[in-house]
Amino acid sequence: MARPVRRAVDGPVPTTQRAAVVGLLVLIAATSVGMLTWPSQVSYAPIVPVVVAAGLFLHAVQMYIVFAASGASLVLTAATAQDDPTSPTLLAALGVVMLLLVAVDRRRAHLGISPSAGASMLVDLRDRLRELGRIPTDLPSGWHAESSIQPAFGDAFSGDFLVAGKGGDQLDLALVDVSGKGLQAGTRSLMLSGAFASLLDATRPAQFLPAANSYLLRQGWSEGFATAVHVSVDLRTGAYDVGSAGHPAAVHYHAGSGQWTPIEGTDGVLLGVLDGDLAQFERVEGRLERGDALLLYTDGVIEDRDADLAQGVDHMLGAADRAVGDGPGMADRICAAAMAGEDDDRAVVVVWRD
């Protein structure tokens, strides 16, 4: 098997990393001089975090340079402190740490990902996911829409994601909840979001969920199902149609009665479970009148291990009642009131009309 090419993986070395290597080598040299000059007063303990930092943040060649300098310094200073009983122990511990970091680095090389490149890739993908879910700001006068997506436990990635698009006077929003949570679900979200955003632009509203289902089935994931709710709103008339794939029902706020009404009849199957004619996704039509609002959410907003779903929905709608007259920030306030707190990914999307 061919050995991975490290230069291609790591790419150009940033100036900041060169400066970091120089700084670490200066610290190693200063520690060595101090140990040789004042062996009873200076410890080479500062080299320990140097070794760890080099293994975690530097490119391969730089890491090995720092490791070599650290090892040489430790052997030299240990030879001058033979009466120090901690020297053999520290040398052995640092040797084990270096070997572990080298093993991790070889694993990263085999995968073709350097530490800096891997982190950069994840940050870039996360930013792309957020960009795909950014609701267009050029809505007609009197129309508003906003979203709030909160990962479980404050993680950087969420299994809930939104894709949004606007063509002419039509606003399309699809809120998706991928199975699992945290980083595992987040990586699936990163993969699906780009595909679903393309499908949103390329298909008619009634075709979006079947197309998303077919795409997810083609991935062949053993536990790769997802739920989704998709709404298409005509911004001229307020007419909308909504479809669901195993997702909690969207809710329509009627300004005339001041009531939130779940939109029944959109109980489609989960995405990624059934194929062909077995996967049916019924759609329901409605209209947003002046003062009305439409609320989409994921199950993390209403689920709680100590309460049933009906209580969760009532709790959410109570928060929505309090938020509906307060204008911008409505989605954040509803999301923050989730019964489960931060134990699950949560997402809320609100569309309203003045």
Domain spans, the chain: 6-113, 134-353
CA 329 to chain centre: 21
For every residue of 211-258, DSSP letters joined together read HHHHHHHHHT-TT--EEEEEEEEETTT-EEEEEEES-PPPEEEETTTT
152-165 confidence digits (pLDDT tens): 887 777 889 999 99
Structure tokens at 178: 């991928």
- Indicate if the pLDDT at residue 207 is higher than 80: yes
In CATH terms, the superfamily for domain 134-353 is PPM-type phosphatase domain (3.60.40.10)
Handedness of CA 10, 158, 188, 297 (dihedral sign): negative
Summarize the confidence of residues 177-181 as an average pLDDT: 81
> Could you give the percent of the chain with pLDDT greater than 90?
42
Q: Is it the case that residue 7 has pLDDT exceeding 60?
A: no
pLDDT at 131: 79
Digit-coded pLDDT (tens) for 37-63: 776 666 666 666 777 777 666 666 777
Kindly state the tokens that stand for 26.
């200066």
| Structural contact between residues 195 and 215, judged by C-beta atoms closer than 8 angstroms | yes
| Confidence (pLDDT) at 51 | 72
Token readout for 317 is 């709608």
For residue 6, name the pLDDT band (cuts at 50, 70, 90).
Answer: very low
pLDDT > 50? residue 10: no
Instruction: Read off the pLDDT band of 223 (50, 70, 90).
Output: confident
What mean pLDDT, rounded, does the chain reach?
81
- How does residue 315 score in pLDDT terms, banded at 50, 70 and 90? very high
pTM, full prediction: 0.70
pLDDT 10s digits, 68-93: 777 777 776 666 655 555 556 666 66
The pLDDT confidence band at residue 325, using thresholds 50, 70 and 90, is confident
What are 190's two structure tokens? 């990163």
Q: Label the pairing between strands 160-167 and 346-353.
A: unpaired
